[in-house]
Amino acid sequence: MSSSPTKESIIPKLAPPNSTPLNDPPSPRTHRALRRLQSAHTLGQSSHQPSLITQQHKQALQRNLSPANNPSLPPHSRGRSNSDATNMTPPNPGSASRRPAAGKRPILADALSLDRLIRDGPPDGDLLSALESTRLKILDQGIKSDTDGMSSLRIYVWLILLNAPVLETDSYLALIHRGASPAYSKIRNDTFRTLATDPLFRRRVSEASLIRLLNAVAWKLHDAKEGRAESLANAGKITHTANEHGSPELQTSTPAMKSRARALTLTTEGSDAGASEPGTYVQGMNVLAAPFLYAARSEAEAFVAFHRFITYECPGYVRGAMDGVHKGLALVDKVLAIVDPKLSLYLIGKGMNAELYAFPSVLTLCACTPPLPEVLRLWDFLFAYGAHLNILCIVAQLVILRNSILSSPSPTKILRSFPPLQAEMVKEVALTLIRKIPDDVYAEIVSHAK
């Protein structure tokens, strides 16, 4: 997302299902260019969308247009939203944009099922309300799926929430036909053990499919890396007129400065210089990619969703140094100390910080914890309201295990592998924890994966 949500945009509006009413929460991705929800197969970008303030002004003006002040308005009717309108003059009743007849009410996004909302698009083109309604439906009802977690709708909801671009299948195939990427050997060392004990994943997703996806993503990241290096090299070229003493730049540059300038053209921003494949593949990306392949209806869909996710939502997780993951681990310790000091002190006293037990959960957004259908339900929530909330979801699992941990002389055995994931319970606990987090810490949570 282009702009991270503020704590205030979530706290008063989000609540655990079946508790307090959910009344019009502001979107946590308000500032992102919203996607057109035209159909499940046609995913486009929205344009010319007015700001929230503009829409609120328009709504206020609409409320002031009463039948007493405007005889042309039928009683109890509301004008159709028109984001391209330059004023709030009621349209001509004879025009194509006729107001609803008396006694008829416009269809609202909240009145539609999630399936119909995604299939038919937002009523009257009201993208903002449709997106907010989608998020609320995910929070309150979830995405309908079978016992194996399979849903024909889920991948399209993810693509919309991630604001993923349209990708032609031929573009994905072109990456496949390029052959082995520079990270191919590392990929092959990881794919065979991806969710190896999960029969649902092994039955549906082949290792060959996972190799193709990761290799294509590695090529895509490699190309971006080369593009950035070329841009830096071009930016470092300064035209000048040499004199009898040679280049003015070379005269004033020390050997250290020349070496640093060259290094800037050979490394990528945020990469670890010591990593063998900086910015193209890191261990753990195989597990992070697995749910995308499981939920998608094609490799191309999984590719565009996964690539969008790691490059926009958590690029810090997949850089060579994994700096985003390490920041996330430090935040797990910090958040636990805030919400449950006793549990935090007990774990610290046992020499257990998050680096020892939460690394896989942070890196994979809990995809390492079975069962897979519960992972998909948790990801529905994370994609709707921000992947950074995974930090709170990990702390929520610790809080759920609180009594077992405190009563165990060796909590390492409990936390070596987390108990089976319960998505609904984790979501409910995580939402209660948000209120306890100071604003500055929450800001760190939002930005840690960038």
Give how far Cα 423 sits from Cα of 99, 224, 260, 380, 429, Å: 44, 35, 48, 10, 10
Query: Is 119's pLDDT higher than 60?
Result: yes
At 341, the pLDDT band (50, 70, 90 cuts) reads very high
Question: Which residues are registered as beta bridge partners of 311?
Answer: none
At 9, the pLDDT band (50, 70, 90 cuts) reads low
Concatenate the DSSP letters of all residues of 368-394 into one string: TSS-HHHHHHHHHHHHHH-GGGHHHHH
- pLDDT score recorded for residue 231: 81
d(CA 426, CA 39): 31
Query: Is 218's pLDDT higher than 70?
Result: yes
**At 56, which amino acid appears?**
Q
Q: Which comes out higher in pLDDT, residue 416 or 361?
A: 361
Query: Is 87's pLDDT higher than 50?
Result: no
d(CA 330, CA 363): 13
Domains of the chain with CATH codes:
165-237+249-314 (no CATH), 322-450 (1.10.472.80)
Query: DSSP letter at 86?
Result: S
- pLDDT score recorded for residue 122: 84
Residues 328 and 353: beta-carbon distance below 8 Å: no
Residues 358 and 420: beta-carbon distance below 8 Å: no
* Stated pTM of the model: 0.71
State pLDDT tens for residues 366-393.
999 999 999 999 999 999 999 999 999 9
- pLDDT score recorded for residue 80: 34
Measured in whole angstroms, the distance separating CA 373 from the mean position of its chain's CA atoms is 18
Mean pLDDT of the chain: 76
State pLDDT tens for residues 20-58.
443 344 444 433 333 433 333 333 333 344 444 444 444
Residues 86 and 54: beta-carbon distance below 8 Å: no
Of the candidates 116, 118, 115, which has an alpha carbon nearest to the alpha carbon of residue 37?
118
Query: Is 207's pLDDT higher than 90?
Result: yes
Q: Which comes out higher in pLDDT, residue 401 or 167?
A: 401
Query: Is 83's pLDDT higher than 80?
Result: no
Burial letters 9-47, b for 16+ CB under 10 A, else e:
bbeebbbbeeeeeeeebbbbbbebebbbbeebeebeebe
**β-strands 44-45, 35-36: how paired?**
antiparallel
State pLDDT tens for residues 151-185.
999 999 999 999 999 888 999 999 999 999 999 99
Whether a cis peptide bond, with omega within 30° of 0, leads into 255 is: no
Residues 115 and 141: beta-carbon distance below 8 Å: no
